[in-house]
Structure 1
Amino acid sequence: MYDIATRQRAVALHEAGLTFSQVSRAMGISRYSIRQWTTRITPSPSMTAECPVQCGELESGRPRADYAYLLGLYLGDGCISRGRREVYALRIACGDTWPGLIDACVHAVGAVMPSNKVHRVRAPGCTSVVSIRAPGCTSVVSNSKHWPCLFPQHGAGPKHLRRISLMPWQQRIVAEHPWALLRGLIHSDGCRITNWTTRTVGGQIKRYEYPRYFFTNTSADIVHIFTDTLDAVGVQWKVTQRPSRAVDVSVARRASVALMDEHIGPKY
């Protein structure tokens, strides 16, 4: 980042007759930056904003419940990619089947990073299973140099191939807002379904329906974050290992499902 005086000096040299290349060589600044300064000399708010994580704590004033929800979405269906000039893009993949989920994601991103624009990018589809650009998907995207600060779990490669653990300041937020994290995880990699069975009562076959929640993830660390949080709020759960190495966490006990319905509910 260059201060205003440096920017003004570079623009003044250009206005005095030097080409962008000449100013670049004289000051050791890229021609791209100098050209940008001739149209906007002040940095954009998203580039000058201070890091939202200060002294091992989320900056005061940023909504902690919205952050916990966004953390759940990121752990499930989010990624961070580096762009130009140390700017990172946060992308959260949301299924078009649930427009309410997309709206909630947009709200959370905007609340956590109010100085940055939030975009909805409709994915045309792709052939890669790993890519979030899948049919029926809208990516909620926001650019900032501070997304890795907010989500230090960012790293190279898929999440299930690297260590995923919460920082102490994140753990404190989750302890304060466990249901917000669980809602984000369910909205990303979970669902609420209705199972049914039949029983013979008085010679007649009757159908019984009962709801249950599922969460599926391949990362053992993320599964542990989910189940540890379920334990903290008193929800009973069971785990099933798939042949694909993915783990299914199910919540089927009536009291636990009622608790999940009270705080989470189905996607919409």
Structure 2
Amino acid sequence: MHAAGVPFSEIHRKLGLSRNTVACWLYSKRARTSQIDRRCWRCDHPPRRPDDVASYCYLLGQYLGDGHLLTTQRVPLLTVACDNRYLGLIHEVTHAMTACGVRTVGYQEKPGCISVRAHWTHWPCLLPQHGPGAKHRREIVLTDWQREFVGEHPGRLVRGLFHSDGSRFINRVIARGRPYRYPRYNFVNESVDIMRICQEALDRLGIEWRMARRNTLSVARRGAVARLDEFVGPKW
């Protein structure tokens, strides 16, 4: 009846069965197959490419910056903390999670920020950098397949990194007795490994950078800022 196009409400009335029973018959097996076999591209045999590699690279950058993967619960929980002033950024994180395969995304409001959260069994498959303790106190190394994806979309990874731990601002200096204003970027992270991942992605994009401090990367030259604007730009 369903294959013939009979509406769901008419099916359960004609058969004299509850809506839940008919729904289980029609959708439970399909949903289970969709979630395990189709939606987790790392669990396929052999593993396959995701449908949206660019969104994965963006989410990877957000995770390396302000993300946290909790695996002590029955279903792993990925949380990305976002400044509540930037609703567009929150929307982009939400889209990246769903593009990677998660079905439902939730939000938890805290003072000054909104945490974008999603439970999914397969987050550890997609984010093998998870582990106990703070990221800067443990080794963070991309796998071969992650390096392949980042090599294809370094701009999306950089966008995720700068949207989490980066900033674009107007620098004000006095040059030859006159005030001078120009845009620049900073990326701040305590992890040497994450900083190196950011540096390598910027090198791929041909963006000049320098280390202003031990934990602060700066992009300040006019051409480099203009190039980085193509991938990041002001937060919104």
Q: Same fold (TM over 0.5)?
A: yes
Q: Normalised by the size of structure 1, how large is the TM-score?
A: 0.72
Aligned mate of 1:78, from 67, 72, 77: 67
CA distance in 2, matches of 1:46, 1:56: 17
Return structure 1 stretches of 4+ with deviation > 2 angstroms.
40-48, 54-57, 59-62, 82-85
Encode CA deviations 1:24-61: one digit per residue, 9 max, x unaligned. Answer: xxxxxxxxxxxxxxxx795764995134214675x345
What secondary structure sits across from 1:263 in the alignment?
coil
Equivalent pairs, count? 209
Deviation, structure 1 residue 234: 0.7
**Corresponding residue for 2:221?**
253
Deviation, structure 1 residue 194: 0.5
**Corresponding residue for 1:89?**
77
Distance 1:263 1:47, change over 3 A: closer
CA contact (8 A) 1:198 1:206 kept: yes
Distance 1:122 1:47, change over 3 A: farther
Letter paired with 1:97:
R
**Corresponding residue for 1:117?**
104
CA contact (8 A) 2:50 2:100 kept: no
CA distance in 1, matches of 2:108, 2:76: 16
Instruction: Determine what percentage of the aligned residue pairs are the same residue.
Output: 43
Task: Give yes or no for the alignment of 1:155 onto 2:123.
Answer: no
Deviation, structure 1 residue 266: 1.0
Deviation, structure 1 residue 222: 0.2
Larger radius of gyration between Structure 1 and Structure 2? 1
**Corresponding residue for 2:142?**
166
**Corresponding residue for 2:158?**
182
CA distance in 2, matches of 1:91, 1:224: 23
Letter paired with 2:220:
A
CA contact (8 A) 1:190 1:214 kept: yes
Q: How does 1:1-268 map to 2 (within 5 A)?
A: 42=28, 45=32, 48-50=35-37, 51-53=40-42, 54=44, 57=47, 59-85=48-74, 87-114=75-102, 116-123=103-110, 135-200=111-176, 205-242=177-214, 247-268=215-236
Distance 1:150 1:252, change over 3 A: same
CA distance in 2, matches of 1:46, 1:109: 19
What secondary structure sits across from 1:267 in the alignment?
coil
Q: Normalised by the size of structure 2, how large is the TM-score?
A: 0.81
Distance 1:141 1:45, change over 3 A: farther
What secondary structure sits across from 2:85 in the alignment?
coil
CA distance in 2, matches of 1:69, 1:48: 22
| Unaligned runs of at least 5 residues, structure 1 | 1-39, 124-134
What secondary structure sits across from 2:230 in the alignment?
helix
Letter paired with 1:156:
P
Letter paired with 1:257:
V
Encode CA deviations 1:75-133: one digit per residue, 9 max, x unaligned. Answer: 00001112543x1001000011211111111111111114x20112112xxxxxxxxxx
Deviation, structure 1 residue 207: 2.2
CA distance in 2, matches of 1:155, 1:263: 29
| Unaligned runs of at least 5 residues, structure 2 | 1-23
CA distance in 1, matches of 2:123, 2:170: 37
Distance 1:197 1:240, change over 3 A: closer
What secondary structure sits across from 1:214 in the alignment?
strand
